[in-house]
């Protein structure tokens, strides 16, 4: 695993020890960023279920302004911090060890708003639609924000999740990407 483009291009990223995380492959990451970027200009990013931090770090490397990384696994949190140090992105990041739902509540109290949201939970979890709606109802989603859900290709989220409208869906083996824009008309 490595950073594909931007200021930290080519820097290797450490993996989380054990079999509990499934890092996004470079091929999928490259395809994803060609669909949503490829470059950014100061956006606020949330990397929920951060794992290695690869998605948020890639966004920072490509010009995003700040990223909040959240993962419940203490090993993941340590790996994210080491990867941020290795890519020299630590000064534009916050890393928290927390459950996703609790983190959403805490971010609401801070009045955080995100332009780019990555949701890459374990594939057994299939409630990203609920998480996105919860974030939107708490005011965490900026108008026009992009939300990326990485999930099993055996499962599909709907065309619309509340005010999120799916603009792309692509499958790569057992991995699928569903990319949503926020701010469509509610049905």
> Domain 26-182 belongs to what architecture?
3-Layer(aba) Sandwich (3.40)
Domains of the chain, by residue range, sit at 26-182
Q: How far apart are CA 132 and CA 40, in angstroms?
A: 22
pLDDT in tens, 68-108: 999 999 999 999 999 999 999 999 999 999 999 999 999 99
pLDDT at 187 (0 to 100) = 36
Q: How far apart are CA 187 and CA 82, in angstroms?
A: 43
| Crossing angle for the helix pair 54-61 and 26-36, to the nearest 10 degrees | 50
pLDDT at 157 (0 to 100) = 96
pTM, two decimal places: 0.94
pLDDT in tens, 26-74: 889 999 999 998 999 999 999 999 999 999 999 999 999 999 999 999 9
């Amino acid at each position: 695993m490595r950073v594909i483009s931007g200021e930290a291009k080519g820097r290797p990223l450490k993996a989380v020890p054990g079999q509990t995380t499934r890092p996004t492959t470079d091929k999928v990451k490259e395809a994803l960023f060609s669909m949503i970027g490829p470059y950014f200009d100061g956006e606020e990013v949330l990397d929920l279920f951060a794992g290695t931090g690869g998605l948020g770090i890639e966004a920072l490397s490509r010009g995003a302004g700040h990223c909040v990384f959240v993962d419940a696994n203490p090993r993941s949190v340590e790996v994210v911090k080491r990867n941020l140090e290795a890519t020299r992105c630590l000064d534009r990041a916050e890393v928290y060890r927390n459950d996703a739902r609790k983190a959403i509540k805490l971010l609401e109290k801070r009045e955080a708003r995100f332009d780019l949201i990555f949701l890459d939970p374990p594939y057994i979890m299939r409630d990203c639609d609920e998480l996105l709606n919860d974030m939107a109802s708490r005011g965490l989603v900026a108008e026009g924000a992009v939300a990326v859900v990485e999930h099993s290709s055996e499962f599909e989220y709907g065309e619309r999740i509340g005010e999120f409208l799916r603009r792309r869906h692509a499958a790569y083996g057992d991995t699928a990407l569903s990319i949503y824009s926020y701010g469509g008309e509610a049905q």
